[in-house]
Structure 1
Amino acid sequence: MNQRTPVRRTVRAAALVLLVLTTSTGCGGVPGTPGAAGLRDPYFPKLGNGGYDVTHYGLVLDADPAAHHLSGTATITARATQDLSAFNLDLAGLTVRSATVEGRPAAVNRAGHELTLRPDADVADRLRKGRTFRTVVRYSGTPQALTDPDTSKEGWLRTADGSVALGEPTGSMAWFPGNNHPSDKASYDITVTVPKGLTAVSNGELTSRRTAGGTATYHWHVAEPMASYLAMVAIGRFDTKTSTTPDGIKVFSAADAKVAAGSARILARVPEVVKWEAERFGPYPFSATGAVVGRPGDSGYALETQHRPFFPGTPDAGLLVHEMSHQWFGDSVTPESWRNMWLNEGFATYAEWLWEDDKEGRPVQGRFDAAFEDDDNWAFPPADPPTAADISHAPVYGRGAMVIHKIRQAVDDDERFFALVKGWTKAHRHGNASTADFTAYVEKTTGQDLTELWNTWLYGKSRPASKD
């Protein structure tokens, strides 16, 4: 994500459903206990849900942007991590028409953004720890933009000729029910039907497009694990381009018809940027890439949606490099919690510095020096933002990048430094990682005790007397 003012994000209120059990058999005679209604994220404690791990989302959507209407069927395949008597899903605004678990009707209670599903007793055995179960939720209504206290908007955003769905950090619950936390990644199939003349772009690979009557249906397949906040749908009148890189990566880019001509040159550089970043960060982690360019004002920020970032208007090269680097840092190696955002944004900002050094002759050290003098970067430690509203503030970006540069200086050998970075993206490919994982990895790889570096640059509350 690109930094902006006002900065994002903050926690959205979601009521906690309390399930009081009077017997050991749980709700409706189903053995077990309810899954937690929230994962106690440091900044978003009610985000996500406990008791299960989603392995696949099958989303079938029918969207009519002109009527501001969305209907959907979400088929959620999950593995129980405890014996479950009930479990929760996150969904904002839309009306649930029905829900089943293993084909049997499930009772649904709602409190704010929390859905509590109580399965039929006949399927109790399918909800025991380690078993896989399937939930189908049918829903519809007018999807909403969700407004954070910092005034930024996410969720389902209306555009001049369609819609765009963006999810960082909580917005995906505006258009599908799920376990809405970055720690629970899954594969996806996203099928979107729209009025004929519009295009529906999403994540992964486009596997089919068909028309019938006055509609067009697009099926997108995401084979690699994806966090819910990275799921995206963009609907509009797009000019699209497809190609394949020499390494076999499928490229699909789309630009709103109003900005397509002006975006063509920068979108043509996507394969170049992917190749350049792969040389520095390791093999590209996905089978598809590209970008989506909407009109200025479609959103207040660019976002690193998996496979193809979304841009509100034509990006410059630096912004393209930043968002594409998130395919490694954030999309493949996903933060364990929202406290670890600096691992995404610090590396992405450093990617910009590296690009300017390689392509424009502006040394990384100069960018570091400027960041050191910028008072905004010293507002708080990048690894410990004070509130949810601060997780995308300047220290997470600028000072986060400074941490990476200090590691590079400590290694004092570029070949070894970039080998370290490649090792990190390989070790946690398609997984989750925390700041503690990263610092331990760096010290083990370098063989150095870097306590002073972490205490000063990552956790320090004030600017050191010297940048050396």
Structure 2
Amino acid sequence: MDPRRPRALTAVAVLLAAALTGCTGERDGRDDGDRAARGAAGLRDPYFPALGNGGYDVRHYALTLAYEPGTGRLTGTADITARATQDLGAFNLDLTGLTVHGATVDGEPAGVRRAGGELTLRPAEDIADGATFRTVVRYSGTPATITDAEGAREGWLRTADGAVALGEPTGSTAWFPGNHHPSDKATYTLAVTVPQGLRAVSNGEPAPERTSGGRTTYTWRSTEPMASYLATLAIGRYETRTSRTPEGLPVHTAARGEPALLGEIPELLAWEVEKFGPYPFSSTGAIVEPLLDVSYALETQSRPFFDKGTFTAATLVHELAHQWYGNSVSPKSWRDMWLNESFATYAEWLYAEDYEGTPVQDNFDEAFAEAENWAFPPAAPPAAVDLSDPPVYFRGAMVLHKVREAVGDETFFAVLRGWPAKYRHANASTEDFVRYVEEQAGEDLTDLWDVWLYGQDRPTAPSS
């Protein structure tokens, strides 16, 4: 996410969106006493306890969508392949503000119940622990734009000729049902049909488009695991381009016009590969939408999104760095958000040193002097509303710089490459990072963590 204008993330967004929820009612009257246990209706995340669901692990989402920009109506079918992690008599999906018309589990009709942002499905037969099962949900409606307590918008954002779907942290619940917590990553196939003349751009790799009867279907496939908040869909009259880096990596871009900065993606990506190690996805690119003004950019996987005013070189460096830190290595919980933003912010500091002649130490000193960066420890934000406040970004980057000073450049840059290699396409926590750094350094860094990562107060001097 763009660190210059960080947006707040708040559980209020979930509560506001829940009020918009469509409901089909309970369709299964069997006695719960005859069924296996239900999967948990939330993963008890420290900041979003109701987000995500227990009892299963999603392997793949196949989303078939049709969108009509004139009315704002979305019609969808979500075909979800998952593996049970316990015996399941029922399980939940997260979904906000859309009407469910029916569901099946392994081809048989399932009971459907809505309660706020929770969709409970009761399969005809219990699902055994370890079994792979397939859920199909049919739904439609006008997807919600979710507005948090500070006015930041996510979810489904309409434009003059289309829409953009942005998911951090809860917005993906507005356009497809799923297990919407970053700890449950999956692969994706998205097929969306729109009026001819519009384009639909998403994550991953495109399949050949098909046009019939005045409508065009675009299909995108993401074969590397992705957290649902990183899924995106942009519909509009875009100019799309596909090129390749000198190493052969596809670069898919969508924009209105042809911003010159798009041409710099291969060079900036090569610079980041040198710093952070092999690029973790099958393509890169960008979506630039000047018709939206949401005051942030977002690291949507393999296809970072930029709104009006955020498509700058520094922000592009930041969002590309997230492909390693946050996208490939995803947080185990939202408390680990600082791991995403600290690395992406430090990437900006490295870019400023290499491209603009500004030493990293100068950016560290400037961040140290800013009182707002000391409002709380980066690894322990007080509440969900604080997850994208300055300490998560800039004090987080200061933590990395103190690690660099403590362990030396050789070990530090080995950490920059080794951390995303060790947890490639997986999830990691703050505790995992602390352990990893100390293993690489061969020393106990408790004093550093106590002051810079968890300390409540600003040290008396930057060298403390």
Q: Smaller-chain TM-score range?
A: over 0.9
Partner of 2:239: 239
Matched, 1:172 2:176: no
Match of 1:76 among 71, 77, 80: 80
Alignment of 1:53-452 (within 5 A): 53-121=57-125, 124=126, 127-256=127-256, 260-261=257-258, 263=259, 265-295=260-290, 297-313=292-308, 315-412=311-408, 414-452=409-447
Structure 1 counterpart SS, 2:394: helix
Deviation at 1:271, TM superposition (A): 1.0
User: In the aligned structure 1, how far is the partner of 2:228 from the partner of 2:413?
Assistant: 29
User: In the aligned structure 2, how far is the partner of 1:239 from the partner of 1:425?
Assistant: 33
One-letter code of the match for 2:58? V
* 2:8–2:389 Cα contact (<8 Å) kept: yes
User: In the aligned structure 2, how far is the partner of 1:160 from the partner of 1:415?
Assistant: 51
* 1:164–1:234 Cα contact (<8 Å) kept: yes
C-alpha distance after superposition, 1:246-285 (max 9, x if no partner):
32211100102xxx24x1x101111111111111111000
User: In the aligned structure 1, how far is the partner of 2:296 from the partner of 2:51?
Assistant: 22
Partner of 1:9: 9
User: In the aligned structure 2, how far is the partner of 1:410 from the partner of 1:86?
Assistant: 51
One-letter code of the match for 1:142? T
Q: 417-426 vs 292-301, which deviates more?
A: 292-301
Change beyond 3 A, Cα 1:406–1:296: farther
Deviation at 1:78, TM superposition (A): 0.3
User: In the aligned structure 2, how far is the partner of 1:192 from the partner of 1:406?
Assistant: 47
Deviation at 1:28, TM superposition (A): 7.9
Q: Which runs of 5+ in 1 are unaligned?
A: 16-24
Deviation at 1:392, TM superposition (A): 0.2
One-letter code of the match for 2:32? C
Name the TM-score, length of structure 1 as normaliser.
Answer: 0.94
* 2:3–2:345 Cα contact (<8 Å) kept: no
Partner of 1:38: 42
Structure 2 counterpart SS, 1:456: helix
Structure 1 counterpart SS, 2:62: strand
* 2:7–2:296 Cα contact (<8 Å) kept: no
User: In the aligned structure 2, how far is the partner of 1:250 from the partner of 1:415?
Assistant: 31
**RMSD between superposed Cα atoms in Å:** 1.4
C-alpha distance after superposition, 1:275-324 (max 9, x if no partner):
11111111000001000000153433110000010000351110100011
One-letter code of the match for 2:332? E
* 1:208–1:220 Cα contact (<8 Å) kept: no
Change beyond 3 A, Cα 1:6–1:317: closer
* 1:303–1:310 Cα contact (<8 Å) kept: yes
Deviation at 1:239, TM superposition (A): 0.7
Structure 2 counterpart SS, 1:100: strand
Matched, 1:50 2:54: yes
Change beyond 3 A, Cα 1:196–1:298: farther
Structure 2 counterpart SS, 1:84: coil
Q: 185-194 vs 1-10, which deviates more?
A: 1-10
One-letter code of the match for 2:103? A
One-letter code of the match for 1:50? G
* 2:246–2:266 Cα contact (<8 Å) kept: no
User: In the aligned structure 2, how far is the partner of 1:456 from the partner of 1:6?
Assistant: 24
* 1:181–1:227 Cα contact (<8 Å) kept: yes
Name the TM-score, length of structure 2 as normaliser.
Answer: 0.94
Partner of 1:21: none
* 2:159–2:291 Cα contact (<8 Å) kept: no
Matched, 1:465 2:460: yes
Change beyond 3 A, Cα 1:233–1:451: same
User: In the aligned structure 2, how far is the partner of 1:132 from the partner of 1:251?
Assistant: 34
Partner of 2:32: 27
User: In the aligned structure 2, how far is the partner of 1:296 from the partner of 1:64?
Assistant: 18
User: In the aligned structure 2, how far is the partner of 1:379 from the partner of 1:329?
Assistant: 24
- Sequence identity of aligned pairs in percent? 62
One-letter code of the match for 1:52? Y
Structure 2 counterpart SS, 1:386: coil
C-alpha distance after superposition, 1:428-462 (max 9, x if no partner):
00000000000000001101110111011100101
Q: Which runs of 5+ in 2 are unaligned?
A: 20-29
Deviation at 1:192, TM superposition (A): 0.7
Deviation at 1:5, TM superposition (A): 5.3
| Number of residue pairs aligned between Structure 1 and Structure 2 | 448
Deviation at 1:4, TM superposition (A): 5.5
Partner of 2:24: none
User: In the aligned structure 2, how far is the partner of 1:269 from the partner of 1:313?
Assistant: 19
Partner of 2:27: none
Deviation at 1:6, TM superposition (A): 7.1
One-letter code of the match for 1:68? G
Structure 2 counterpart SS, 1:290: strand
* 1:6–1:152 Cα contact (<8 Å) kept: no
C-alpha distance after superposition, 1:379-428 (max 9, x if no partner):
0000000000000000000000000111111112x232111211100000
Runs of 4+ residues over 2 Å off in structure 1? 3-7, 25-30, 296-300
